[in-house]
Chains A and B, each alone.
Chain A
Amino acid sequence: MNGSKLPKITFWRALLVVILAAGFYSTVLRFVKGLGASTNLSDQFPWGLWIGFDVLCGVGLAAGGFTLAAIVYVFHLDRFHAVLRPSILTAFLGYGLVAVALLFDLGRPYRIWHPLVMWNPHSVMFEVAWCVMLYLTVLALEFSPAVFERFRLHGPLRLIHSVTIPLVIAGVLLSTLHQSSLGSLFLIVPEKLHPYWYSPLLPVFFFISAVGVGLAMVIFESNLSARAFGREIELPLLAVLGKGMAVVLMLYGILRFQDLVARHALVHLREASTETLLFVLEIVVGLFLPMVMLFIRRVRENREGLFAAAVLVITGFLLNRLNVSISGLEFSAHAHYFPRWTELAVTLSIVGMGFLLFSLGVRYFNVFEVHAPSAEPVVARASRP
């Protein structure tokens, strides 16, 4: 943020302004003219980019919050405390933006509260709606200490510290439920989703890959914010997360392979189709390459190597979610879908808002803690005059 970096920042700011302007136009179009005028959605493709990317990927990419909360509070690996709060902030903003994306995608967004009073417990979507609402509340509470510290509110701070553990456990449970349920959403389309991706184990795959990508996102963000805010990177800590990621990827890979074999889905590899290309890309880029990289110590403990592995895992994750929600359905829909530019503009604006809000959060609250946690770390510090 000093003089020498000014040109670069201006470029990013200019880009953000262009994206937000396009996003504003698209927003007006969406709410005045409806979904038909602002999207390439159709009766054959009722779900597109806003569900496939903004919701499915958004929720997954925010999984670092619950993964780290579990690592720090439940498993008591206190040294990871240093990267916890940025992950909680990312998760909170991520889920908030998922809700914003839903307001764009729902045909009648002003009825988003309907699942609160109109129940259908047989619907996966109903369960996801409840979990996401509750978890957003949990995340707000988990981030609230930063806000209370800022305004020196000692009473609420003590109160929130006394319920940290139940709060974290509730957050982990809610995340487990809805991360997996996003996969369960597609259990109902056995005849529509390509055999590369349809599996009775979809909820399990969605959960494990969310944990993996959650860790990748922590590494990814730490790198970016180290660059943006001129901070020291927590490399030894992140290398350990990389180790964990390698294990998660291996577990996922074994389960996925077993399942593909059991369902005789690998025979489709003989077909030279778009699906085969996307499937191979997803497995090689998102699973095989980063797993091998992370098992090599020299790569894992190298800043660039670790960052590259995290980027690969994130790319593979995005591919997987888009394959399940869009590409894998094309063959049965007998239709092709590619987002309209206005859909892309809204999505990019939402991502841009995420970056903007994160940097504001970092500027106004104590997000990057460097102290080692003691019995009551934050209260002690906040009470200093």
Chain B
Amino acid sequence: MSKAILVDTTKCIGCGACATACKIVNDLPLHDSEANKQRPAKSCGADELVTFAQSHGEVGGKLSADTLNVLQTYGSVFVRKFCMHCQDPTCASVCPVGALRKTAAGPVIYDADRCMGCRYCMMACPFGIPRYEWKSALPKVEKCILCAPRLAKGLQPACTEACPAQASIFGEREELLREAEKRLRENSTGYVQHIFGQQEVGGTSVLYLSAVPFEQLGFPSNLPHDALPTYTYRVLSKIPNLVMLGGALLGGIWWITNRREEVARAEKTEKRDSKLETGKSKLET
């Protein structure tokens, strides 16, 4: 029952409405300062949000603490980049304080009050998504949270709401996968026969379709199909055993070496005693 987004890059018209809508609902500054002055409030209605986003679409730029969704151009192909919302997220697994968490509804969310700022999530993310507020003295990690608060209200994410071309659609992951497979089947020459995100690092809640190989769109092509957290948990799960066996081994070695020393010491005193004995008996005779 997990929600997801399907991005069909062959349908994207490059308007950038997704990027703008994202900035409105997340209260982030728009690139265009003129547009920024006219922006609707965070709490605006759907119509106002969609109209504004579609007429002031933001194209280009990079992901940053101020930009959680970005529309990039690779040759003649437009691709939006944002958090992939992994099924078994690497970021959530590495976070020492559990500030990142995968919710049952689908989004990977972030609790800024727990975060101590170790930035292991940024190191570990296979898609290089999380961003840091480097300019702030009290920084937070920033990334797309799949509009988790909107989802809780029964709404869809702002980006899919604003998309005029149905290039990004929102729904159940299983249904979106069926839809993607259907599109691949019906147009076998128009698509690369691969759904990016179906199996990468154990699967993601954001799925992509493309007419050109994915590495040409800046996606990593060397990702394993295992969820990355299994790589570290394989080692971590051995720790309790290692502690017990190691403790027993070290204790045992100490026991033996200590005993050996006690024996050596006892033998020394014994020798001395026997020498004394012989000395005494010599004196007596």
Contact = CB atoms under 8 A, between A and B. Distances in A.
B254 to A, nearest CB: 5
Nearest to A325: B123
Interface stretch (A35-43, A93-101, A253-261, A295-303): A35-43
15 contacts: A34-B133, A42-B134, A43-B122, A46-B122, A105-B118, A111-B114, A114-B96, A118-B98, A121-B236, A123-B232, A169-B250, A188-B93, A188-B232, A190-B228, A191-B224
Interface in B57-110: 63-64, 90, 93-99
A185 B120 contact: yes
A176 B246 contact: yes
Contact of B239 (A106, A120, A177, A190): A177
B119 interface: yes
B242 A46 contact: no
A106 B140 CA distance: 11
Nearest to B222: A191
A125 B236 contact: no
Nearest to A120: B98
Nearest to A183: B235
Interface in B14-39: none
Nearest to A116: B97
Interface in B242-273: 242-243, 246-247, 250-251, 253-254, 257-258, 260-261
Contacts of A114: 96-97, 114, 116
A76 B260 contact: yes
Interface stretch (A67-75, A240-248, A349-357): A67-75
Contacts of B257: 74-76
Contact of B254 (A165, A177, A191, A200): A165
Interface stretch (B42-50, B124-132, B188-196, B277-285): B124-132
Contact of A46 (B93, B119, B223): B119
Contacts of A106: 116-118
A193 B184 CA distance: 34
Contacts of B1: none
Given A108-B115, A177-B243, 5 more contacts: A114-B116, A120-B96, A169-B247, A188-B124, A189-B126
A108 B223 CA distance: 32
A122 interface: yes
A33 B95 CA distance: 25
A122 B229 contact: yes
A184 interface: yes
B232 A122 contact: yes
Contact of A169 (B98, B232, B251): B251
Interface string B210-231: 0000000000101110001101
A224 to B, nearest CB: 30
Nearest to B140: A107
B230 to A, nearest CB: 10
B137 A33 contact: yes
Interface in A134-184: 165, 169, 172-173, 176-177, 181, 184
A269 B275 CA distance: 69
B139 interface: yes
B236 A188 contact: no
Given A43-B64, A127-B236, A191-B222, A173 B243 contact: yes
A107 B94 contact: no
B239 A127 contact: yes
Given A75-B257, A188-B90, A190-B231, A43 B250 contact: no
A181 B94 CA distance: 12
A108 B224 CA distance: 33
A331 to B, nearest CB: 12
A43 B132 contact: yes
Contacts of A118: 97-99, 114
A169 B254 contact: yes
B153 interface: no
B18 to A, nearest CB: 21
A28 B67 CA distance: 29
A35 B220 CA distance: 28
A-B pairs, 10 with minimum CB distance: A107-B117, A36-B134, A76-B257, A111-B116, A46-B122, A126-B96, A125-B96, A46-B119, A118-B97, A120-B98
A44 B137 CA distance: 19
A119 B137 contact: no
Given A76-B257, A120-B97, A125-B94, A108 B232 contact: no
Contact of A125 (B118, B126, B250): B118
B236 to A, nearest CB: 6
A35 B236 contact: no
A76 B261 contact: yes
Contacts of B64: 43
A47 interface: yes
- Which residue among A31, A36, A44, A47 has the maximum number of chain B CB atoms within 10 Å of its CB? A36
A340 to B, nearest CB: 12
A37 B135 contact: yes
Interface string A251-294: 00000000000000000000000000000000000000000000
Contacts of A181: 235
Contact of B134 (A35, A122, A185, A200): A35
A129 interface: yes
Contacts of A33: 137
A185 B232 CA distance: 8
Given A31-B137, A74-B254, A125-B118, A173 B247 contact: yes
A184 B223 contact: no
Contacts of B261: 76
Contacts of A172: 246, 250
Contacts of B95: 120, 123, 125
A18 interface: no
A187 interface: yes
B92 to A, nearest CB: 8
A171 B93 CA distance: 27
